[in-house]
């Protein structure tokens, strides 16, 4: 075992952690005062730490969080070289997209054409703004900024087609507001563009019928598609973006509308905390699907619970408590251990199919980073350790396939075989690796990120970008002629940030949205007093 490997939690440590998360910060006073007799020594350590730490929200409420990022190794020439290679790959692919057109959402890497499958109004250009700025690609950034400011959000991009409003919110509105903050808040035209887009997106709500928005909207006539269902992730992943829009414009209606939508969902009683049907109707909100996993259609809804609290503090304590209850519940009901290597992962659940479904989709690999963040913020070492362990699981998803490059679905059976092996350059694994690097300072995570980058270059690189492939084990299987916006907005960005100076966009100062757009934390915001909040919610 190397020195780096020794910093990773062992399987036994992780299993003890899985038994111990309920010892702190759980849903009501009686539960945390009388926790279940589980976890042994680790349980005692966590309770002691929660009650004695000067930074613990259990003991002292109105303090800002302790520093999240420890010191790591000094910046090296190797980091600079790898950073440069990642930047060059991003630049090469972005240039191929920007060359033929500024107006489409996706790149077609095999045919060298632009694509616009969801009418996402120039989503790649806007979604790439923060990455261009972070990577210091000045010429491309200035051109993209000018293009964004001159976009017309009063009409949908493709004539006669509707716009997917939740995607437009988290990708485009989030990118514009994040860029506004990164530039120092002196871009009046950019803020006006964000307000113009926010006003259009508000039209996706029918104020007389539902607390949640309609997912598809024709910009201009503001005609809603009332037949389409909306996923919980789409309906309840708007809080960060609309809060920032309200903050900078002084118009509280944006924040209030997003908050109402999220609370409507959180107040619907699930089978157990954190287990929600992933889809609902916009008109009245009843669930219409019953397979549940911390992945697609629920992902950013759960992710934003802890991040909204990190961003605004005490006003979002309800979100923090909901996140903690969800994590506790999912550990109890969905946490599984893979046979063979004994790694933790989150299974799905289907009552109609008899309970747990022992699979984990690649989209679920955002959860490890989110759990590490929440564990650090709440001083809950058990949740943090499980997040770290699940990051390792996601890195090892299929050792036999393309150097570990991520298949879209992991199913752990006794023979350790992967059932669905579609390969996609999704950002979730890179995202969790970056969180692990920032929280631990352990260079082993930089090596994991570099392996991920090398695999993408070797196996999925085409003349016009990067593609997905149907079968991880068959290089001749069908290739998907699409490079989606998350490759620019998230995948390359998180890889690049893994090789920058550790205090650049520190997690102590910035909250990263579901799409990787950073928002600045107000250093004067207060996190609130958890004990008081628990007592208030009991009455």
Q: Which one is predicted more confidently, 390 or 46?
A: 390
> Given a cut of 60, is residue 42 above it in pLDDT?
no
pLDDT of residue 397: 67
pTM for the model stands at 0.82
d(CA 6, CA 50): 25
Q: What is the mean pLDDT of residues 240-258?
A: 96
Q: How many CB atoms lie within 10 A of CB 106?
A: 22
Q: Which one is predicted more confidently, 100 or 240?
A: 240
Angle at CA 102, nearest 5°, toward 96 and 108? 45
pLDDT of residue 517: 97
H or E element, residue 345: strand 344-346
Residue 96, phi then psi, degrees to nearest 5: -65, -35
pLDDT of residue 88: 96
Q: How many CB atoms lie within 10 A of CB 133?
A: 21
Per-residue tokens: 44:
């005692």
Q: What is the mean pLDDT of residues 25-35?
A: 28
Provide the percentage of residues in the chain whose pLDDT is more than 90: 33
Band of residue 27 on the pLDDT scale cut at 50, 70, 90: very low
d(CA 175, CA 489): 9
Among the listed residues 316, 300, 304, 176, the one whose alpha carbon sits nearest the alpha carbon of residue 248: 176
> Given a cut of 80, is residue 423 above it in pLDDT?
no
Q: Give the mean pLDDT of the chain.
A: 74
> Given a cut of 70, is residue 523 above it in pLDDT?
yes
> Given a cut of 50, is residue 53 above it in pLDDT?
no
H or E element, residue 182: helix 174-182
What is the SS3 assignment for 411? strand
> Given a cut of 50, is residue 49 above it in pLDDT?
no
Least confident among 123-137, 211-225, 497-511? 211-225
Angle at CA 524, nearest 5°, toward 522 and 530? 100
Looking at domain 5-538, which CATH architecture does it have?
Alpha/alpha barrel (1.50)
Tokens 């809804």 correspond to 301
pLDDT of residue 91: 93
Strand ranges for 402-501 from DSSP E: 409-411, 461-462, 465-466, 468-469, 479-480
Band of residue 246 on the pLDDT scale cut at 50, 70, 90: very high
H or E element, residue 344: strand 344-346
Residue 437, phi then psi, degrees to nearest 5: -65, -45
**Does the CA dihedral 500-501-506-508 come out positive or negative?**
positive
> Given a cut of 90, is residue 317 above it in pLDDT?
yes
Provide the percentage of residues in the chain whose pLDDT is more than 70: 61
Q: What is the mean pLDDT of residues 260-267?
A: 85
């Amino acid at each position: 075992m190397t020195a780096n490997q020794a910093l990773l939690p062992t399987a036994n440590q992780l299993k003890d952690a899985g038994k111990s998360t309920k010892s702190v910060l759980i849903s009501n006073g009686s539960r945390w005062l009388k926790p279940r007799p589980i976890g042994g020594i680790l349980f005692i350590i966590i309770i002691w730490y929660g009650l004695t730490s000067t930074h613990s929200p259990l003991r002292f409420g109105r303090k800002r969080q302790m520093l999240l990022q420890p010191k790591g190794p000094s910046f090296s020439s190797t980091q600079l070289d790898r950073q440069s290679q990642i930047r060059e790959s991003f630049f090469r692919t972005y240039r191929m997209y920007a060359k033929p057109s500024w107006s489409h959402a996706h790149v077609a890497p095999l045919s060298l054409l632009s694509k616009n499958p969801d009418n996402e109004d120039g989503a790649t250009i806007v979604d790439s703004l923060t990455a261009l700025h972070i990577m210091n690609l000045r010429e491309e950034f200035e051109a993209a900024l000018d293009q964004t400011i001159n976009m017309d959000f009063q009409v949908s991009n493709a004539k006669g087609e509707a716009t997917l409003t939740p995607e437009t919110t988290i990708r485009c509105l989030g990118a514009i507001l994040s860029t506004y903050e990164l530039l120092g808040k002196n871009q009046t035209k950019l803020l006006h563009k964000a307000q113009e887009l926010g006003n259009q997106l508000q039209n996706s709500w029918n104020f007389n019928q539902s607390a949640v928005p309609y997912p598809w909207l024709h910009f201009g006539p503001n005609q809603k598609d009332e037949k389409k269902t909306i996923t919980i992730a789409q309906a309840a992943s708007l809080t960060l973006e609309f809060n920032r829009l309200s903050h900078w414009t002084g118009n509280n209606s944006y924040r209030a509308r997003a908050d109402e939508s999220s609370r409507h969902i959180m107040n619907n009683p699930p089978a157990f905390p954190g287990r929600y049907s992933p889809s609902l109707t916009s008109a009245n909100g009843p669930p219409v699907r019953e397979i549940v996993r911390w992945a697609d259609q629920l992902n950013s809804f759960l992710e934003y619970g802890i991040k909204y609290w990190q961003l605004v503090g005490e006003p979002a304590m309800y979100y923090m408590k909901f996140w903690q209850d969800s994590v506790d519940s999912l550990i109890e009901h969905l946490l599984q251990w893979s046979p063979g290597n004994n790694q933790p992962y989150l299974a799905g659940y289907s009552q109609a199919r008899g309970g747990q479904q022992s699979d984990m989709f690649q989209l679920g690999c955002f959860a490890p980073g989110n759990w590490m963040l929440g564990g650090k913020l709440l001083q809950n070492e058990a949740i943090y350790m499980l997040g770290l362990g699940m990051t390792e699981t996601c890195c090892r998803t299929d050792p036999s396939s393309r150097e570990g490059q991520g298949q879209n679905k992991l199913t752990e059976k006794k023979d350790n075989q992967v059932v669905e092996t579609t390969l996609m350059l999704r950002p979730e694994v890179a995202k969790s690796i970056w969180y692990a690097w920032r929280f631990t300072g352990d260079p082993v995570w930089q090596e994991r990120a570099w392996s991920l980058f090398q695999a993408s270059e070797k196996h999925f690189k085409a003349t016009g970008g990067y593609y997905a492939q149907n079968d991880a084990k068959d290089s001749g299987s069908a290739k998907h002629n699409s490079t989606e916006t998350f490759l620019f907005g998230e995948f390359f960005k998180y890889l690049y940030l893994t090789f920058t100076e550790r205090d650049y966009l520190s997690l102590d100062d910035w909250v990263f949205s579901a799409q990787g757009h950073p928002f600045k934390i107000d250093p004067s915001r207060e996190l609130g007093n958890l004990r008081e909040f628990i007592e208030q919610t009991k009455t």
